Chain A
Amino acid sequence: MKLIKRFFQAIVAHLDIPLFLIVLALMGIGLLTVFSATSSDGFEKLDKQFINMAVSGAIMLLVARTPPQTLMRFAVPLYVTGVVLLLGVALFGIVVNGSRRWLSLGFVRIQPSEIMKIAMPLMLAWYFHKHESLLKARHFIIAAAILMVPILFILKQPDLGTSLLIGASGFFVIFFAGLPWKVMFGLAAAGGAAMPVLWSMMHDYQQRRVMTLLDPTSDPLGAGYHIIQSTIAIGSGGGLGKGYLNGSQTHLEFIPEKHTDFIFAVFSEEWGLLGNGVLLVLFTLLIARGLMIAAGAPTLFSRLLAAAITLVFFIYAFVNMGMVSGILPVVGVPLPFISYGGTALVTLMLGIGILMSIQTHRMLVKK
């Protein structure tokens, strides 16, 4: 009895209760929606997603117990391993659906870009932390180089969604490290000027995606089909939705990839604007809590890491909902904690674990 109590205390000790409750609520919505999206195939996907959640939950607990100083030690090896694996993908990768994203290790296939999602903010936060007292322009330039190497690899695969997420995570670290506004505006202006060049460098399918975003009706049966059907689902959901398991767009298979990237259309059709509002509030709370943790973090490393990870959650949610509702191009980004899929969930819960670790080890550092 005492043993159980101690075990329980050990778990709770490094749990951030507000964050935990928010994630739990999101996951609950996720399970409900995954079931609605896959109910025609029975409980198989629901069971799998439940296991995914349990496993990633355990990983979260493990990471939450790990002090930030220990996490910092993983920064360089993880980053280097990631870059090496990306190089491996470029040389020996397996092509699936026209993209070279996977690396076969004989017994298992891995997607190294997924590792980078965590490795990148970790690495940059470590780098700035190391040079904390004397940050100069060159440190920002080196940071930019650390960011760009893996991103170029991933863009080459090509995987626009992932490079966007990793790029964002790295940029947020640099931003919070104090990149001057002047430089940012300058870069933004230069970026705007470079748009045509960038456009010409994009792959055909990426250009098409941007074009169909601007005018989905131009290709109603091809690339525009996804956006048209998902906006129909959202719009027909109305204020209060069609009711759980009653979405006709969902259950008559009009929504493509309805349990993964387009799951938001399923949720939105059945729960309406009210449901969307609740979801937005939950994400806002999640991000607010993350930013609070960052604000209270004692070291530069933990501050930068917490803030960057939190904003990555935001990017995930914003890009996904934006693309499904037709205001952003279709890039392969899942809706955090809602979309079906183990890999993304593990990455996300790693991030939550890191946030909890930073929050719960704060006092220990002060002492």
Chain B
Amino acid sequence: MSDFYHSEQDSDRFRHRLLVAGAGVLLAFLLLFGRFFYLQIVQHEYYTTRAESNRISLVPIMPNRGNIVDRNGIILARNYSAFTLEITPSKTLGLEETIDGLAEIVEIQLKDRRRFKRLLEESKNFESIPIRTRLTDREVARFAAHRYRFPGVEVKARLFRQYPEGTMAAHAIGYISRINAKEKEAIEESGHGANYKGTDHIGKIGLEEHYEYELHGTAGHEQVEVDAGGRAVRVLSQTPPKPGNNLTLTLDSKLQKIAEQAFGGRRGSLTAIDPSSGAILALVSSPAFDPNLFVDGIRFDDWDELNNHPDKPLLNRAIYSTFPPGSTFKPLMALGALTSGKRTPGQAIADPGYFNFGNRRFMDDKVGGHGMVDMHKSIVVSCNTYYYVLANDMGIDTIARFMGDLGLGKKTGIDIPGEATGILPSQEWKQQRFKKREQQKWYAGETISVGIGQGYNAYSTLHMSHALANVLNYGKVFRPHLVNTITNPNTGEVRTIESEPVRQIALKTEHVDLIKRAMAGVVKEGTGARAFAGAAYESGGKTGTAQVFSLKGGKYVAGQVRERLRDHSWYVAFAPVDQPKIVVAVMVENGGFGAQSAAPIARQVFDYYLTGQIPGGPAPETEAPEDASDGPLVEENAHEAD
């Protein structure tokens, strides 16, 4: 019986514990329900947002980059669509194996692998990187058949930049290439970050760089539903991109081509400006490079070749290389003399063939001198003595002020980056240029070299053509520019760049006309006569020679000096004389005398621009005329007589 009792007691205790357990279960389930209530009701909105941001991804769509055409509508930069084979490294099973496998199906050269490796280092693992560009249709089909073997590899249709004219005007147009880390930062800072999300190329030099934000366009985007692996499942909505603006240049590509060919591979530059607007008609830097090489990542050996070539083809000489202008400076000096009242046109000097200053003798190029020389004659025969005396009379600061007014020694404001300031010497300049006290002092003797365009003077062809254009415009200054109009393809709106002069230099009409006549005289009977013999139009010009080094006490004989030590050849010119339509400045490095190399190039440019005549080949080098050589000769040895 006690057993039974015991069992009853046990049974009670068991039921009691069942109740405890049941209560525990209910409590636990209430706790769970509380948790669900918290997540699904209280925090519902928060988690909905989280789920949506999981689900929806914004994919940027790259806009079409604007085209660049010349003044006649000839295309200089455009886009074309081509297939690329791209790899997303994070999605592949093994990068090396994938590339090796692909190489069995499509051609993958060593250079492709090298480029891929370089791009890989620059980008993140989940970005898609091209291993091959410009696949042929056959290659696309072959890859499609083997696609299943290559996770993380895709064929994509991409837009490529193309420069159909190749090397033509390459320095002016520039090129685009992949955005690097520094540029990315700059884009973020300028507030364009969102618009560049899907863009991986950017203008690196030239117009492509300067007008980057005009050309780029507005990125569109697609709202896509993505799964956890980041694969797009479907498109929810789409905002199409807006293509970038098109640039119409002032450049005349036929003229440009003729000017480039005229150089015949010689080093140098040419700038041709329409003086009535500042429009640049041609901008030559020779030798040039092919911008197409840069578009999908330049090959290492191509880069090596361009970067280390002694002729420096990547350098934009027209805006960056500066040299003493030599005698091309004289017409500007003459105008300065008239404007500052230091000379009247009729004032003449007797030229003995030298100018003594202190204990130095500055030589004229013509032994025995030019006799009586007035201003007109000083330009036509390029008389050094006239300008030695003039410079001494004017003083360096008067010269500097006037030349600065003309636009020398500062940036012209041309719409491509990388312009040099040049050197316009003055007392102030010298103080800033040199650190040591004794070097900072300006010596009056230095002014005399400056007067004939030597000494510290250093300008680009852009500077010289700009200054001459300002003179021919009677002081009206236009900013030199390559872009004429910017067209918005979305709205059809056309904006014209620069039609108004930016400032006015105080010049007298009769002074300018005198300079024009004198420069016409150079072509008619002076140092330019040989190069322009038989021209169908009247032009004005001035030859110049920039000394590479000065020979002491002897006559400079170009043929006997090694090519790299020959002087640089300058020619500045305009035509027609009455109503100038074109101003050029030509510079041939180591071209010898101005009349020898540079003037014949200007002749071909004028011939085409004014009469449509197409030259048969590169501009010839004329023989240096015996007496008319305009090179300066400065004898620096002491002159006993003084």
Contacts and interface: CB of A to CB of B under 8 A. Distances in A.
Interface in A279-296: 280, 283-284, 287-288, 291, 294-295
Given A280-B29, A295-B18, A314-B25, A236 B36 contact: no
Nearest to A228: B50
A331 B32 CA distance: 17
B29 A234 contact: no
Contacts of A172: 21
A253 B229 contact: yes
A325 interface: yes
Interface string A261-275: 000000010001100
A249 interface: yes
Interface in A282-331: 283-284, 287-288, 291, 294-295, 300, 303, 307, 311, 314, 318, 321-322, 325-327
Contacts of B33: 276-277, 280
A291 B51 contact: no
A178 interface: yes
A113 interface: no
A153 interface: no
B39 A294 contact: no
Chain A CB within 10 Å, residue with most, of B36, B55, B233: B36
Contact of A235 (B32, B50, B227): B50
A175 interface: yes
Interface in A77-122: none
Contacts of B233: 252
A249 B6 contact: no
Which secondary structure dominates where chain B touches chain A?
helix
A273 B41 contact: yes
A322 B39 contact: no
Interface in A12-59: none
Nearest to A273: B40
Given A249-B51, A253-B229, A254-B228, A325 B17 contact: no
B501 interface: no
Given A232-B54, A252-B228, A318-B32, A176 B17 contact: yes
Contact of A288 (B22, B47, B48): B22
A235 B44 contact: yes
Contacts of A235: 39-40, 43-44, 46-48, 50-51
A355 interface: no
Interface string A229-242: 10111111111000
Contacts of B124: none
Interface string B1-35: 00100100010011101100110011011011101
Contact of B40 (A234, A249, A280): A234
Contacts of B155: none
Given A175-B17, A239-B44, A249-B51, A318 B29 contact: yes
A291 B48 contact: no
Interface string A208-236: 00000000000000000000010111111
Contacts of A66: none
Contact of B51 (A133, A232, A294): A232
Contacts, number: 121
A124 to B, nearest CB: 15
Given A248-B54, A314-B25, A325 B32 contact: yes
Nearest to A322: B32
B22 A291 contact: yes
Chain A CB within 10 Å, residue with most, of B15, B18, B229: B18
A329 B22 CA distance: 24
B236 to A, nearest CB: 12
A240 B54 CA distance: 21
Nearest to A276: B36
Contacts of B39: 231, 234-235, 325
B298 interface: no
Contacts of B225: 248, 252
B37 interface: yes
A254 B52 CA distance: 12
A268 B25 CA distance: 21
B226 interface: yes
Nearest to B47: A235
Contacts of A273: 36-37, 40-41
A83 B18 CA distance: 30
Nearest to A325: B35
Nearest to B42: A235
Contacts of B35: 322, 325-327
B30 to A, nearest CB: 9
Given A277-B33, A314-B25, A236 B41 contact: no
B17 A236 contact: no
Interface in B104-124: none
A172 B55 CA distance: 44
Given A232-B54, A249-B54, A253-B229, A283 B29 contact: yes
A176 B14 contact: yes
B23 to A, nearest CB: 11
Given A176-B17, A248-B54, A303-B14, A238 B44 contact: yes
Contact of B227 (A253, A276, A295): A253
A236 B21 contact: no
A300 B14 CA distance: 9
A229 B54 CA distance: 9
Contact of A307 (B21, B43, B54, B55): B21
Contacts of A248: 51-52, 54-55, 225
A292 to B, nearest CB: 9
A276 B39 CA distance: 12
B14 to A, nearest CB: 6
A211 to B, nearest CB: 20
Nearest to A300: B10
B36 A318 contact: no
A236 B36 CA distance: 11
A178 B18 CA distance: 11
A117 to B, nearest CB: 19
Contacts of A322: 32, 35
Given A238-B44, A294-B18, A307-B18, A254 B36 contact: no
A234 B36 contact: yes
A133 B4 CA distance: 10
Contacts of B28: 314, 318
B48 A236 contact: yes
Nearest to B50: A232
Interface of A: 133, 172, 175-176, 178, 229, 231-239, 248-249, 252-254, 268, 272-273, 276-277, 280, 283-284, 287-288, 291, 294-295, 300, 303, 307, 311, 314, 318, 321-322, 325-327
17 contacts: A175-B17, A232-B50, A232-B54, A234-B40, A236-B47, A236-B51, A238-B40, A238-B41, A238-B44, A238-B48, A239-B41, A248-B54, A252-B233, A276-B33, A291-B18, A325-B39, A327-B35
Q: Report the 3 A-B pairs with minimum CB-CB distance, sorted nearest first.
A: A235-B47, A236-B51, A252-B227
Given A235-B47, A295-B15, 13 more contacts: A176-B17, A178-B13, A178-B14, A232-B47, A232-B54, A235-B40, A236-B44, A236-B50, A248-B55, A252-B228, A253-B229, A272-B40, A276-B40
